[in-house]
Structure 1
Amino acid sequence: MTALIPAQTVANLLEGAARHGFAADDLLARAGLAVPVTDLDTADFVRLVRVVTLALDDELAGLQHRRQRIGTHAIMAAHVAMAGTLGAAWQRLAQFSDLMDNSFHFTLRDMGDETVFEMTRIPRREVLNHTAVDMVLVLVGHMMIWLGGNRRSYSAAWFDFPPPVHAPAYRRMFGRVPLQFGAPTSGLAFASSQLKLPVHRTEAEAIAYARRTPLDAFLPVDAVSGLALDTSLAVETALAAEGRLPTMAEVAATLGFAQHTLRRRLRREGVGYPDIRTQVRREMAVRLLTTTGDSVEQIAARLGFSEASAFVRAFRGWTGLTPGAYRNSEF
C-alpha cells in the first residue's frame, strides 16, 4: 500500500502520548513500526492509534483536555444508531458529544438548505494540536456515512487552524468536498434534505463498528451514492444470496444497463467496479466477524473465497489484522 498518513499527523498523535509519559519510540516499537517517524500506510497508522489508545485508555489519544475512556465511542454509536432518521441521528450525535465536556462545545444548526455540525473550542481547555480536531471530524464523518448506508453525508468541512504542511492529505480524509482552513470554528455541513433519510444500521452493528475505534473509522471509506450505491447493493445482494461475487455484466443486467454503460457511468462518479466489489466484501467480512459466531472458514465461503487462506490474506490487506485477531480485538 502507498503511504497515506503524513509523518506530521503521526508525530501529532504521539505528542498526546508523550504528555502522559509514554515514549514515542516505545509506542512505535509496540506497533511494529520503525523509528524515526515516517509517513504510514493506513493499516500501520490504525495499528499505532490502537497502541496509543490502549496505552492511555483514551480514544482521543491524549490530545484533548480530558480523557475519553475506551468504550465511549461505542456508547455514542449505539445511541446514535437508535435514531430513526439521519436528522435525529445527527441531533443525538451533537447532544452526546457536548455532554462529554472535554475541549469543545458541539452544536447542530439549521442553516436552511444546509445543516451544520460545529465544534467550538472551550476557553482554557487544552487542545494539544490540530490532529485533535481531525480525529473528531474523521470519526464523526465516517460513522455518519456508514450509518447512512454509505451515502455521502456531508458536503463541506472546515477547520479552526491554518493550512498544515500536509493539507493535500485532507482530501484522503474528507474526500472531494470543499475544505476551508483558518475558520473561526471547525465542523461539517450537509444538505438538510438528508435529514429525513433512514438510518441503515442497527444498534448491534453500530456497537460492533465503534468498539474497535479507530479500526473501521480510519480504514478507507469510499462513500458512494447514486449509481455507485445501487451497484454496491446489487453486489451485496448477490453475494449474500449465492456466496459468489457477480460479474459486472450480471450487475449491469440487474440494473438495466449494458456493461459498457455501467462502466462509463461509474467512471463518471469516480469509482470502478472492482473497487465496489472489494468494499462490499470488506464490509460484509467485518459485519460477519463482529455479529455472528461463524468460523473463518464459513465466512470465507459466504464471501466467495475459494479457501480460507485467501480470505485471511485479503482481510489482512484491508485491516492489517487477521480475521481472528480482528474478532478478538474488542476493547
Structure 2
Amino acid sequence: MSNYPSISSYFLSAALKHYKDGPARNQLLRRHHISPELLNSPSARIAGNHFADLLRDLMLTMEDEILGYGAQPQRLGCWQTMSKLACQQQDLQGALLELARFYRLIPWGVQSRFRHRGEIATFSLTPDAGQVFEPYLYESFLFYIYRMANWLISSQIPLTRVDFNFPRPRHHREYRFLFLCRNIRYEQDRCQLHFPASFQHRPVEQNALSLSRFLQHVNLSTIAQTFTRDSWRERVWQEIEQHLPRNVTFAEIASNLGLPAHQLRQHLHNEGYDYREIKDQLRRDRAIHFLSIDGLSVEQTSAQLGFSEPSAFIRAFKQWTGVQPGTYKRRRSTPGRIQAG
C-alpha cells in the first residue's frame, strides 16, 4: 500500500493561514478532497497525498514556497535550485553546507548554518535581529531539511535532539513522528536538528535521474518518505498491517516475532511506544486512506480494518479524529486544476 501517513489538521490550518481568499480556499480544499469542516476539528487528520497536493497548488497560487511566513516570499524554484546544488556534492556534509549557504543568500529573515563539534553535527535556523516568526516557519522548514538529508544519502538519519525557539505548542506530539525523535526541547536560543557527526561523511547517492523524479512532486516525496530504521515499533506496525482485516492480537504478533508478549511490550516501551498507540495510528491512517483515496464505503473500510461491525468503527474513528468518517468520504473534484508554470 502507498505510504501516505495522515497529517494533523493543525498543519492544514497553518498552511492556509496567509491565503486570505475564503471562496478560493474552499474551492482549493474541495479540489483535493478535503472537507472544510476538518479545519474546525483540532484532532482531525488529512490524507498525506491530499495535503501534499494542496501544498503544491497553494505555493503556486501564492508564488511563495514558505506560504507567507517569511520576511519576504521565497520565489518559486528556490528549493529546486538548492536541491540541484546539494546533489552535486560528494557527501552529506558538503550538501548541508551548500544548502545552508544557499538559504543565507535569500532575504527571508532567517540565517541557516551547518556545523559540527565533536561527535554531533547541527543544522540551525536563527532569525535575524528584530525578526519574530511563527512556529510553522521553523517546524516545516526543518522537517523538509531533515527529509532532504535522508533522501540525499538514502538512509534515515537518527536525530539525537530537535530544538525549537518557541514554547511547547498544543500539537507538540506531532513532532515525534515528523522528526522520528523523542528528545524535543523548547524555548531554546535557536531551532536546530542534532545528529551523529559520522553521518555527515555518508556519500550523496542521488543523481540527475533520481533528482528529476524527486522534483516532480517534492511535497509528496518528502511526506511519503519511507527510509526507516529496524525497530520494534516498525516490526509491530508491519505485523498489524499484514494481518489488518483479521485484527491480529498482540500475543499473535509477539509469537510471530519469536518473543514472549511481555518482552515485546518492554522493547516497545524502551523505544517510547505503546502497542495500542501503534495500532490506533495505523488503523486511523488506513481508514483515512480507504475513505478519502480509495473511495471505500464506511462498511467496507470497517471490514478492511478488522472491526466486528461498522458502528464500532464509527465510534473509534470519531475518537481518533473528532469527526464522523463520512467527513472524509471522497467526493468528485471540481475542474480547473492549477498547473505549474
Structure-1-length-normalised TM-score: 0.64
| One-letter code aligned to 1:8 | Y
Q: Against the structure 1 CA distance between its residues 120 and 264, is the aligned structure 2 distance closer, same or farther, given a 3 Å change threshold?
A: farther
* Higher RCO by CA contacts (8 Å cutoff, separation 6 or greater): 2
2:115 is paired with a residue whose SS is strand
Show the counterpart of 2:14: 12
Cα distance, 1:216 vs structure 2: 0.8
1:194 lines up with 2:195 in the alignment = no
Cα distance, 1:329 vs structure 2: 7.5
Show the counterpart of 1:55: 61
Show the counterpart of 1:155: 160
Task: Render the CA deviation track for 1:269-288: whole Å, top value 9, x for unaligned.
Answer: 98xxxxxxxxxxxxxxxxxx
1:117 is paired with a residue whose SS is strand
Following superposition of structure 1 onto structure 2, how do residues 136-285 of structure 1 map, counting pairs within 5 Å? 136-152=141-157, 154-224=159-229
1:65 lines up with 2:66 in the alignment = no
Unaligned 5+ segments in structure 2 are: 232-253, 272-329, 331-337
Show the counterpart of 2:89: 83
Q: Which has the larger radius of gyration?
A: 2
- 8 Å Cα contact 2:157-2:199 kept in structure 1: no
- 8 Å Cα contact 2:150-2:227 kept in structure 1: no
Question: What's the RMSD between the two structures over aligned residues?
Answer: 3.6
1:110 lines up with 2:116 in the alignment = yes
Q: Against the structure 1 CA distance between its residues 263 and 59, is the aligned structure 2 distance closer, same or farther, given a 3 Å change threshold?
A: farther
Cα distance, 1:31 vs structure 2: 2.5
Measured in 2, the distance between the counterparts of 1:170 and 1:154 equals 12
Measured in 2, the distance between the counterparts of 1:201 and 1:159 equals 30
Show the counterpart of 2:26: 25
Show the counterpart of 1:244: none
Q: Against the structure 1 CA distance between its residues 201 and 146, is the aligned structure 2 distance closer, same or farther, given a 3 Å change threshold?
A: same
1:16 is paired with a residue whose SS is coil
Measured in 1, the distance between the counterparts of 2:12 and 2:160 equals 27
The match for 1:101 among 75, 85, 107 is: 107
Measured in 1, the distance between the counterparts of 2:137 and 2:173 equals 18
Measured in 1, the distance between the counterparts of 2:339 and 2:220 equals 10
Q: Against the structure 1 CA distance between its residues 86 and 145, is the aligned structure 2 distance closer, same or farther, given a 3 Å change threshold?
A: same
- 8 Å Cα contact 1:65-1:103 kept in structure 2: yes
Unaligned 5+ segments in structure 1 are: 227-259, 271-319, 321-327
- 8 Å Cα contact 1:64-1:126 kept in structure 2: no
Cα distance, 1:67 vs structure 2: 1.6
| One-letter code aligned to 1:35 | P
Task: Render the CA deviation track for 1:77-124: whole Å, top value 9, x for unaligned.
Answer: 110011111111111111112111212101112221111111001134
Measured in 1, the distance between the counterparts of 2:179 and 2:95 equals 20
Measured in 2, the distance between the counterparts of 1:42 and 1:146 equals 18
Measured in 2, the distance between the counterparts of 1:137 and 1:221 equals 18
Cα distance, 1:330 vs structure 2: 6.3
- 8 Å Cα contact 1:151-1:224 kept in structure 2: yes
Show the counterpart of 2:249: none
Cα distance, 1:48 vs structure 2: 1.9
2:214 is paired with a residue whose SS is helix
Task: Render the CA deviation track for 1:19-46: whole Å, top value 9, x for unaligned.
Answer: x888543432333321131531212221
Q: Against the structure 1 CA distance between its residues 191 and 42, is the aligned structure 2 distance closer, same or farther, given a 3 Å change threshold?
A: same
Cα distance, 1:125 vs structure 2: 4.0
Q: Against the structure 1 CA distance between its residues 177 and 146, is the aligned structure 2 distance closer, same or farther, given a 3 Å change threshold?
A: farther
Measured in 1, the distance between the counterparts of 2:189 and 2:176 equals 21
Measured in 1, the distance between the counterparts of 2:24 and 2:135 equals 20
The match for 2:47 among 34, 41, 49 is: 41
Cα distance, 1:2 vs structure 2: 9.2
Amino-acid identity (%): 19
The answer to which of 38-47 and 81-90 deviates more is 38-47
Cα distance, 1:224 vs structure 2: 3.0
